[in-house]
Amino acid sequence: MKKKKAVSNIVLLGLVSLFADMSTEMVYPLIPLYLTAALGASPAIVGVIEGIAESIASLLKVFSGYIGDVYSNKKRLAFAGYSASIFYKILLLTAASWPSILFARVIDRTGKGIRTAPRDALVAQSSKGNNLGGSFGVHKMLDMAGSALGILIAYLFIAYNIGFQKAFLFSIIPALISVLLILPVREDKKKNHDCEKLSLKGLKIDPKLKAYLAVIFVFCLGNSSNAFLLLKAQERGFSASHVILLYLAYSISASLLAIPAGRLSDKIGRSRILVPGYLIFGLVYLGFGLLSSNWAMVLLFIAYGAYQALISGAERAFIVEKSPAGLQGTLLGLYGMIQGIGLLLSSIIAGLLWANINSNVAFLFGGILGIASAAAISILLKKSVN
């Protein structure tokens, strides 16, 4: 009976993410198009907006994770974070310039910063036995299924010329459903007294995890916002509606592979999934920089989804397993913070390379860092049982 409850809790959290991501992806592919086509913003401005929004949110992740660990209020934090998505869509309705889009994105990503680590900690808390990677895989599958549905709806908005404002308005509905679905989620309210005695400054991290997080930071310097993938497809001659279909192919690929990849990491070890994942990323980014045919673009978006599936479950499971007892949310938050800071820098770098040299160089830079990170992770984890 206990196991059944745990599984249903993971599914509930997955459904929360499904509707939240449906809402987000109904508008996310439209934002770079709206900024460049309707508001006249350059790719560099798109990079600055994405980088600032993500980095501000990332700074909250470690503190949100820590607060959730100490006060056992992970569910409340998740509720507050998902609620911000509703306000984001309302702000988009009134946005008339790129600074107002920036403000709206900051609100949205702040909500993500508040909810992500506590939500992932709830998934880990609800996972039983040796299926941690599989649990994160289930969550990621539902998360990406919501993304796919949202992108499909965004495509319909573009194909039928419904308009940006109506798209922003309709996206509020699934955001509201996701918030309501948090209410039946259960949380273990046992307070972590050991965690209360610690400070973030005195946090002791496993040396292998510390080295891994350092590699992740270097990798993230080349992993710019997905908005650049959409702009690259547009540059290659794809129409706005076809760009969204490419993004849909990426989401479907990630959703279909997330559970098998997570479960496989439980069986054969995290490193045997993580290293190929980062290697695929590197090859995909090199492909975006070197290849130009339409079919190559389609295959690259699908392969990018495979990278997401391989990394998401195995990486979070690895971090949870290497975290101090009771501090899983804190370390997941630290991981998210490092990713966000890297995304700020990488998005600015990619925007500048795109504007001052060309778009190919931006992707070649990311591809080289991806392959180097795969090699570093292989060396770092080769002796690890996980």
pLDDT value for 84: 93
Cβ atoms of 58 and 187 within 8 Å: the answer is no
Cβ atoms of 293 and 105 within 8 Å: the answer is no
Alpha helices per DSSP H over 236-382:
240-268, 271-290, 294-322, 328-356, 359-381
CA 18 to CA 12: how far, in whole Å?
A: 10
- Please report, for the chain, the start and end positions of each structural domain, with discontinuous segments joined by +: 2-381
Position 197 confidence tier, pLDDT thresholds 50, 70, 90: very low
Could you tell me the CATH superfamily of domain 2-381? MFS general substrate transporter like domains (1.20.1250.20)
pLDDT tops 90 at residue 12:
yes
Nearby residues of 248 by Cβ (< 8 Å), 6 or more positions away? 148, 151, 152, 155
Give the tens place of pLDDT for each residue, 59-117: 788 888 888 888 888 999 999 999 999 999 999 888 888 888 888 988 998 898 899 98
CA 302 to CA 254: how far, in whole Å?
A: 8
Which DSSP symbol is given to 39? S
pLDDT value for 190: 65
Virtual CA dihedral for 115, 314, 26, 29, nearest 10 degrees?
Answer: 110
Structure tokens at 186: 């259960």
Give the tens place of pLDDT for each residue, 240-267: 888 888 989 999 999 999 999 999 999 9
pTM, full prediction = 0.83
Which DSSP symbol is given to 361? H
CA 232 to CA 170: how far, in whole Å?
A: 27
CA 327 to CA 195: how far, in whole Å?
A: 7
